[in-house]
Amino acid sequence: MLGVPWAWLAVFLVAPCAIVLAIALAEPVDAVPPFSLAHPEFDSLILVATDPLYRAAFLLSLKVASLSTLVCLLAGYPMALAIARCDERWRAPLLLLLMLPFWTGFLMRINAWIGLLRDDGWINTALGVLGFSPQHLLYTDTAMYVGIVYTYLPFMVLPLYARLSQLDPGLLEAAADLGAPPWRSFLRVTLPLSMPGVWAGVLLVFIPAVGEYVIPELLGGPQAQLIGRVLWAEFFQNSDWPTAASVAVALVVVLLLVPGAVVTSLRRSPARRGSAS
Amino acid sequence: MGPLQGRTLSVLLSITGLTVRYGATVALDGLDLTVAPGELFVLLGSSGSGKTTLLRAVGGFVQPEAGRIVLDGTDLGTLPPYRRKVNTMFQSYALFPHMTVATNIGFGLRMQGLDRAATDARVTEMLELVNLAGFGARRPAQLSGGQQQRVALARALAPQPALLLLDEPLSALDPNLRRETRAELVRLQRSLGITFILVTHDQEEALTMATRIGVMRDGKLVQVGPPAEVYEQPNSRFVAEFLGAANVLPAVARESGRRLELPALGASVCTAQAIPAGPLLLAIRPERVRLGATDGLNSVQGVVVDCAYAGESLTHSVRLADGSLVRAMQSLRDGRREIRASVGDTVTLSWQPDACILLPP
C-alpha cells in the first residue's frame, strides 16, 4: 500500500517530466512527431536560456504574476478577514458565494468577461448611458489583469480564511487589553499569525498565474507575450517541440525556485513556529 | 472645596446599577460594587453567575446595557479596552504564540510608547519578579503551564495598571502548584500595591487570598465582606452552602429570645444571639459539630451512614430522625486519636450555641 503514492508520483509526475526533458534534448526534424532522439543535444535548452525573446517573456510573466498576486492579496485579505470575523451563520453562505463562479466553466467565465469588456460591451454601454466616453478595455493589459485577478482571487481568499478563522480571538482581546488600538493589534498579532495563510495564497495564485495562457490570449493584447503564449506558439505554430519542451523545463525550474525561496523563508519565520503551538 | 475633598481616596472602582444582557439572558442584573485601592477583591460564584461578565465589563469587552463603571474618578463609559488603565490576566493566558516571552511582557509597555531600552529594562525586572529570569528569549509554547501563568501575570502587571483583573488565574494549574501560586500571588499583590479583582469558583482560593469576597449569584452580588465575616455570618442559605459546607436544618423560634425549636426532630437548641420569633434556617459548619454528647451543649441524635477519612480530617455523615443528613468533621491535626463511630451506630451530635448560624428561611 505504501507504494501507491510513489507509483502515482512516478506515473503522473516523474514520467511526464522525463518525457518533456527528453523532448527538450531532442533534435527538431520534419516528421511526425517533429523531433528525433537519435542525436540528443542541448541546443534548444541553450536557446531558451540565452535568447532575449524568452527572457523577456519570462520576465513579463513573472511581473504579471507578481502584480496579480499582489492585487489578489490586497483584495483577498480584507475579504478573508471579513468572512472570518463575521457572524458564524453568515460564513458558510459567504464562502459559497466565493466558490459560486467555479460552478461555471472557466472558458465560459472568460468569455463572459469579453462580453463585458468589449468596445460595444456592457461596461461601455453603461458608460454611454451615464454620459461618459467609451473606453477601449478588451485586449489591453488591464483586461488581462482583471481576468487573472478575477480567476485566482478565491485561491487567495480560501487559505487566508482558513488561517484567520483559526486565530484565537482571545489574542486580540489581550492585545486590546494591553493598549493596542485595532490597527496595531492587526499589525502585531493578526498579520504575523496569518503569514502561513498569506504564503499559501501567494503560491496558489502566483504559480498558475506565471504559466497562464488562456487569459492573456483571450483578454490581453498582442503585446502581452507571456511565457505560456510563447510555449503555445512554439508548439502549435512553429511545431518546434524541442524548443517548446525547453520552455516548459525552464518554467518548471523558475517555478521551483520561487516556492523554494518562500518555503525557506517560512522555515526561518517565527510565525510558523508560533503556529505550531 | 479642599484639594482632598475633590475625590474620595478610599474608592478606586465604583460600579452602580450595572446590567449586561446577552440576548434574552441577563448576565448582570443591576450590580453595585465598590473596591478600595490596594484590595484583593475576590468574586466567587458558580459558572453562569456572571462573575466573568463583570470582569469583562470592567475590562471593556462587553457593553453594559445600563449602569456606570467609574475607575479612579473616570467614568469608563464606552471607552474601548485599549484606553482603560485596567489590565486583564486571561483564564487561557492568551499569550502571543509568535512572540518571545520578553516581547509578550513588553507588549503593553511598547503600546504605551515606552522606548526599546526602557521596555527591556522593565521586562527584565518583571521576569525577575515572577522568577523567570533568563526565560525572555523562549516562546510561550516552550514553557510549562506554571511558567506560562507567570508570563501572563508579568505581561498584565508590566504596564502598571491601576487595576488588575484576574480571570480564574490558577484554574489551569495542578492542585499543589495552585496552593503555592496562591501565596505567591498574594505576596506580589501586597508588595506592588496594585488593586486586584480576582474571579474564582474555588472557595478555598477565595477564603485564603481575599481581603474581601463578593459572592455572586444570578448576576447579583448576594454578599460582600471579609472572608471570615462571609464564612461565619453568611446572610443566606446559598452563601452558607456555597462558601464552605453547612448543615442546614429548618427551625422556628416560638418567641423572641435565644431558644430555637427543631420541629422535625422534636428538639430545641440554644443560640448565642437573640432572635425574633418566626421560622428560619439553622446552619452549623461541619467542623463545629462534635461526635458525642457534651454537657451544656446543643445535641441531636442520629445514625452514622458514612465515615470519610481525608488525611487531615475525618467526617461522619449522620442521618437524623427526619431524614436530613448532618456532617460532623473532626480535625486530625492534633495527632489525637480520633473518635470513630461505625456505620449503623447511633450517635449524639453536639455543638456550642455560638456555632448556630441563623439564616432567613
Give B298-307 pLDDT, tens digit per residue: 889 899 999 9
The interface residues of chain B toward chain A in range 41-60, judged by CB-CB distance below 8 A, are 59-60
Q: What are the pLDDT digits (tens) for B155-198?
A: 999 999 999 999 999 988 888 889 889 999 999 999 999 999 99
Helices (H), B243-361: none
Q: How far is A106 from chain B (nearest CA, A)?
A: 39
| CA A53, chain centre distance (Å) | 22
Sign of the Cα torsion B195, B197, B200, B206 reads positive
Nearest to A178 among B80, B97, B159 (CB): B159
> Which residues of chain A fall short of a pLDDT of 70?
1, 269-277
Which residues sit opposite B212 in a β-bridge? B41
**What is the per-residue pLDDT for B1?**
37
**Of B6-20, B148-162, B338-352, highest mean pLDDT:** B148-162
Residue B112: pLDDT band (50, 70, 90) is very high
Distance CA A96, CA A192 (A): 27
**What average pLDDT does chain B have?**
91
State residue B257 phi and psi, 5-degree precision.
160, -150
pLDDT at B108 over 60: yes
Interatomic CA distance for residues A90 and A25, integer angstroms:
55
CB contact under 8 A, B98 and A273: yes
Tell me which DSSP letter residue A273 carries.
H
Rg (CA), chain A: 23
Give the ipTM. 0.85
**B50 contacts: CB under 8 Å, gap ≥ 6:** B20, B27, B28, B29, B31, B216, B218, B219, B220
Give the gap in angstroms from C-alpha A262 to the nearest C-alpha of chain B.
19
Specify the 3-state DSSP secondary structure of B100. Answer: coil
pLDDT of amino acid B5: 43
* Contact residues, chain A, for B197 at CB < 8 Å: none
Q: Name the band, by pLDDT with cuts 50, 70 and 90, for residue B9.
A: low
Query: B97 and A178: CB-CB below 8 Å?
Result: no
In the predicted model, is pLDDT for residue B334 greater than 80? no
Tens digits of residue pLDDT in B236-251: 999 999 998 899 999 9
Is the CB of B193 inside 8 Å of chain A's CB atoms?
A: no
Tell me the pLDDT tens digit for each residue of B202-213. Answer: 999 999 999 999
* Residue A1, min C-alpha distance to chain B (Å): 36
* Residues of chain A contacting B94 with CB distance shorter than 8 Å: 168, 170-171, 173-174
| CA proximity to B268, closest of B257, B54, A31 | B257
Q: Which residue has the cell 475590562?
A: B59
- Going by the DSSP 8-state scheme, the letter that residue B15 receives in this structure is E
Q: Cell numbers at residue A143, please? A: 483586461
Interchain pair A274, B59: CB under 8 A: no
Tell me, what's the pLDDT at A262?
77
Between CA B123 and CA B131, with CA B127 as vertex, the angle to 5 degrees is: 170
- Judged against a pLDDT cut of 70, whether residue B335 lies above it is answered with no
Indicate which of A172, A173, A178, A184 best probes the interface with B, i.e. most B CBs within 10 Å of its own CB: A178
